Amino acid sequence: MTAADLTCDAFLGGRLSIWQPRKGYRAGVDPVLLAAAVDARPGQSVLELGCGAGVASLCLGARVPGLQLTGVEIQPFYAGLARRNAQQNGLGLAVHEADLARLPTELKARSFDHVIANPPYFLRSRGTEAPDAGRERAMGEATPLSDWLMAAARRLAPKGWLTLIQDAERLPDLLAAMPGALGSLSVLPLAAREGRPAHRILLKARKGGRAAFRLHPPILLHEGRAHQRDGEDYTAAISAVLRDGAALPLPG
């Protein structure tokens, strides 16, 4: 792939410059929202499963200084982009090219304060494959959600937090596959506009947590019931996340 096949895109209002393929899987708002929902503190360790080009980890690192960031990515091309993006933005991100179901020994020997993930949304039994192989791997579920959740549970330190973003219709699948080690589940629905059903959910779970399940009121991404004007119409809270790198608190 040549330089002409890539674009360098601004995230967080220009605080980050991210190289992505011109065609194929391209990060949008989902990894930014995921990063904003992670309640990390300086000095803590974070593992991202399926880090792609590194957008979620780097957005988190831009907001919270001093994190120990680690990513796992199965596709060599995207793993290379994640390393390049980390270096370009002056953020430390150790990227391991590996299958999350068969992590390298050095990662199996570690535990993390946080695990984050943006797993593929689409069951291939319900749709057709994307023509681009990279996009298909990122968006079409090849590794079951249960494997993502088990990998997260194994790598979390006691009382550590899993934070992930997923298509809202997959919430029953997530709850059914949740390992017993993960509790204190908290779900925040994300709806595009007033009067519309949630299309994404943010989910938090704590290793060893015992708090009751919490389903929070949905957060709206856009103002109004319909798009009324040219340009963006994000709500003030979402605009602050996307443009200023603000946090999106998700109570535990």
* Domains contained in the chain, CATH given: 3-244 (3.40.50.150)
Distance CA 201, CA 236 (A): 19
**C-beta separation of 60 from 118 below 8 A:** no
pLDDT of 144 reads 93
* Alpha helix (H) residue ranges in 157-214: 171-177
66 three-class SS? coil
pLDDT, mean of residues 4-18? 94
User: Which structure tokens are listed for 245?
Assistant: 């790198």
Q: Specify whether the CB–CB gap between 100 and 92 falls below 8 A.
A: no
Assess whether pLDDT exceeds 50 at residue 130. no
CB-facing half-sphere around the CA of 222: CA atoms within 13 A: 17
Beta-strand relationship, 6-11 and 68-73: unpaired
Q: Name which of 153, 73, 140 is nearest 112 in CA terms.
A: 153
Q: Residue 171 in contact with residue 164, Cβ under 8 Å?
A: no
CA angle (91, 243, 66) in 5-degree steps: 25
pLDDT tens digit string along 64-87?
Answer: 999 999 999 999 999 999 999 999
Quick check: 124 pLDDT over 60?
no
- 232 alpha-carbon distance from chain centroid: 22
* Confidence (pTM): 0.89
> How far, in Å, CA of 195 to CA of 31, rounded?
24
Looking at residue 135, its pLDDT comes to 41
Q: What integer best gives the mean pLDDT of the chain?
A: 90
Task: Tell me how crowded residue 225 is: count the other CB atoms within 10 A of its CB.
Answer: 10
**Cα–Cα distance measured from residue 100 to residue 129, given in angstroms and rounded to the nearest whole number:** 21
